[in-house]
Structure 1
Amino acid sequence: MKYMLYAGLAAVASLSTHSIAAEPLAAIVATKADKTLLTDIEYTGKQLVAVGKHGTIITSSNAKNWQQASVPTQVLLTAVTFSGSELGWACGHDATIIHTNDGGANWQLQQVDTQLDKPCLDILFTSELHGFAVGAYGMFYETSDGGKYWQKRFLDSLLFADDRDYLNDLKRSDPQGYEAETASILPHFNRIVATKDKLMLVGEMGLLAHSTDNGKTWQRDEEIYQGSFFAYANDEQGQEIVAGLRGNIFSRQLGEQWQPISNNKTATINSIIASGNNQWLLLANSGVIFHYKNNQLTIEQLADGKAVLDAVIFENKLVMASENGIKVKGMAP
């Protein structure tokens, strides 16, 4: 999800094993923490929580006054998720996953491994105990105990047939080489999303995959595009939208085939949110916000031209996590 922007802003690091290599430094307390790079934002039902650069996490109950949380790391945090209003998790570089049980005010380290050269790019919990963390080169971790232990998985079902045959041969002939190959043979997993009847995984090289058994098994969908996808969303009526590199957008209705949406704006799309009245907002680089409704796409561009990484609707306002911190704008009636 947002991998290209992150790679340009910081050295790419990792998601992890359960071991902790060294004691991380606590996030630096900043006077303008709401003005730094922020990569993701959630509304917990009680307050807004945004994460970003140097381990910054900020919270607010009104989208005006922001408080910096106590965070045990200074790495770039890339994603945040909540199960209810109190239990939350965030992930980022250097194999870092952190957890809060007080709505985001205080965070504890669950895992870190600075030896892996891969970032975690998204995190999702489907219950208070069951969660997933995904990232670069097929990184996939799962927990069934709220993150006390994260199990590494290799999703070989998402390999192309030739790659699967190659790995099976290598596993028999060169176990050490097999381990090395499995570390990089899969594409980046940029986003994992739960719908009412499945989990969706999207990523690099046009990856679309789904699971109908809560992540136990995964099936690769038919390829519709060879570039990277960073965002996916769906609604209660079954409409789905997937988007990513250079403004490429596809949609489909329940039971139909994916169709490309005509778009002459090439800003890479980072996130998709529903904004009511069957309208979607697609948040992109260069300050671009795409409005999609009834198969029509209109384009808005923020004056500062800074990337918008994610947003939430709060009290009829769009509260955005951006390359230049929190931005708030009113929603059209």
Structure 2
Amino acid sequence: MKKTIAACIAATFAVNYSTTAFAEEAFMAPLVEQSVLLDIDADKFVVIVGERGHVLVSEDGQTFNQKAVPTHSTLTATTVVGEHIWAVGHDAVILHSSDKGETWEVQNYQPELERPFLDVLFFDEKHGIAAGAYGLFYRTTDGGQNWSAERHASLLDPMDREYLDEIRKEDEAFYQQELESILPHLNRVTLDGNTLYLAGEAGLLAKSENMGESWERYYVDYTGSFFDIKPLDARTVLAVGLRGNIFVSRDEGEWEYVQTCSTSTLNSILVGSESKVYALGNNGMMISAQRPLPTSMRDPYANPTDCKADEGIEVTQIKDKAALLNATQFKGNSIAVTANGIKTLALK
């Protein structure tokens, strides 16, 4: 795929921050496993991150130990590569551990940006990206020792791109200023083979075949926020988001609507098996869907009392109704992070 100015501005500029400006260390909370926890990832061990710089690590998925980290900024996302852990969050903080969480370094800290990172992903131990609010997008090719910022105009709606292209002909500086002000929140990045998927604000779904250097935005007949996107197989991609909206695309075709009759915002996708997938959401809502997913016509003005879920859709709610933020499967268990801490999900 060719990189064009319109497709990927990727205006790159060095990231500088003061090494004396780091926030104090995270509070070692006695009830940390019951605190607000926002993301989970696992490889040969499990890592969980959350509010006030909380980081928990487990070797078995059952006993979790809080690790001392050099920030109390809320951590929104984490990723594991071998024994390396990266965690990102508010104050544009990026943390790194090379020893499974025993020791940590701050790789980035810019509270003056007033923008949080919302996700982080590494392709290997050297090359990674972090994405977040208002188009925040950083890249490293040396394990995080240096990060560079990029702005991707190709993630904008085509009408916004056309507007920006006209501005750029007259004033490059104003163009960059406008680009930074209208880029949407980038909520989740997912890697599948050589394809990178992205879900974001204002109906943003996109894919990249070159590690996010350029993007192809999908057209979706929906302008609300998406919070997760995942390929289910070689033919099928699923996206979930605001007010219970679920869309599916097959064979690169149109994005079709899945009717669940639930209006709770959906935060993440958990692939359970070859026959079932789960969407996890606010108010403890968990939607299970038989594969292949059924679809129907979307009617945003329909009376909710007349709603009938598509065939194979089942909506359940966990007992304490705590928001389900993310989940992963580890050693036969489905471990979720919620607004009330760690939970093991009983998936049907």
Q: What TM-score do the two structures reach when normalised by structure 1?
A: 0.89
Answer yes or no: is 1:164 the counterpart of 2:161.
yes
Aligned to 2:344: 328
How far off its partner does 1:171 sit? 4.5
SS at match of 1:319: strand
Bigger mean CA deviation after superposition, 284-293 or 312-321: 312-321
Answer yes or no: is 1:278 the counterpart of 2:294.
no
CA contact (8 A) 2:22 2:70 kept: no
Bigger mean CA deviation after superposition, 89-98 or 56-65: 56-65
How far off its partner does 1:151 sit? 0.9
Superposition pairs for residues 215-294 of structure 1, below 5 Å?
215-294=212-291
Tell me how far apart the structure 1 counterparts of residues 243 and 102 of structure 2 sit (CA, whole Å): 36
Aligned to 1:307: 323
Any idea what the Cα deviations from partners look like across 1:71-127, whole Å, max 9, x if unmatched? Answer: 11000100001122x012110000100011112233211001011121111111111
Any idea what the Cα deviations from partners look like across 1:157-200, whole Å, max 9, x if unmatched? Answer: 22344433443454465555444322221111111111124111
CA contact (8 A) 1:17 1:113 kept: no
Aligned to 1:38: 37
SS at match of 1:321: strand
CA contact (8 A) 1:63 1:328 kept: no
Aligned to 2:93: 96
Tell me how far apart the structure 2 counterparts of residues 237 and 209 of structure 1 sit (CA, whole Å): 16
Change in 2 beyond 3 A, CA 1:329/1:90: same
CA contact (8 A) 1:285 1:306 kept: yes
Q: What TM-score do the two structures reach when normalised by structure 2?
A: 0.85
Change in 2 beyond 3 A, CA 1:39/1:110: same
Specify the structure having the higher radius of gyration (Cα). 2
Gaps of at least 5 residues in structure 1 are 1-15
Superposition pairs for residues 9-88 of structure 1, below 5 Å?
17-20=15-18, 22-45=21-44, 47-84=45-82, 86-88=83-85
Tell me how far apart the structure 1 counterparts of residues 288 and 210 of structure 2 sit (CA, whole Å): 33
Aligned length: 315
Tell me how far apart the structure 2 counterparts of residues 224 and 106 of structure 1 sit (CA, whole Å): 46
Change in 2 beyond 3 A, CA 1:179/1:105: same
Tell me how far apart the structure 1 counterparts of residues 18 and 275 of structure 2 sit (CA, whole Å): 45
Deviant stretches of 4+, over 6 Å: none
Change in 2 beyond 3 A, CA 1:223/1:256: closer
Gaps of at least 5 residues in structure 2 are 1-13, 294-311
Aligned counterpart for 2:145 among listed residues 139, 144, 148 = 148
Superposition pairs for residues 190-209 of structure 1, below 5 Å?
190-209=187-206
Superposition pairs for residues 170-185 of structure 1, below 5 Å?
170-171=167-168, 173-174=170-171, 176-185=173-182
Change in 2 beyond 3 A, CA 1:149/1:248: same
Change in 2 beyond 3 A, CA 1:132/1:262: same
Tell me how far apart the structure 2 counterparts of residues 162 and 48 of structure 1 sit (CA, whole Å): 42
SS at match of 1:27: coil
How far off its partner does 1:217 sit? 1.4
How far off its partner does 1:303 sit? 1.1
The sequence identity of aligned pairs, in percent, is 36
Tell me how far apart the structure 1 counterparts of residues 55 and 95 of structure 2 sit (CA, whole Å): 11
Any idea what the Cα deviations from partners look like across 1:112-152, whole Å, max 9, x if unmatched? Answer: 10111211111111111111111111111111111111111
Aligned to 1:131: 128
Give, as a single letter, the amino acid of the residue that structure 1 aligns with 2:134.
Y
CA contact (8 A) 1:118 1:137 kept: yes
Any idea what the Cα deviations from partners look like across 1:230-271, whole Å, max 9, x if unmatched? Answer: 011113333211010000001122243321101111111111
Answer yes or no: is 1:318 the counterpart of 2:334.
yes
SS at match of 1:266: coil
Give, as a single letter, the amino acid of the residue that structure 2 aligns with 1:291.
S
CA RMSD of aligned residues (A): 1.9
SS at match of 1:206: coil
Tell me how far apart the structure 2 counterparts of residues 309 and 95 of structure 1 sit (CA, whole Å): 20
Tell me how far apart the structure 1 counterparts of residues 88 and 115 of structure 2 sit (CA, whole Å): 12
Change in 2 beyond 3 A, CA 1:255/1:182: closer
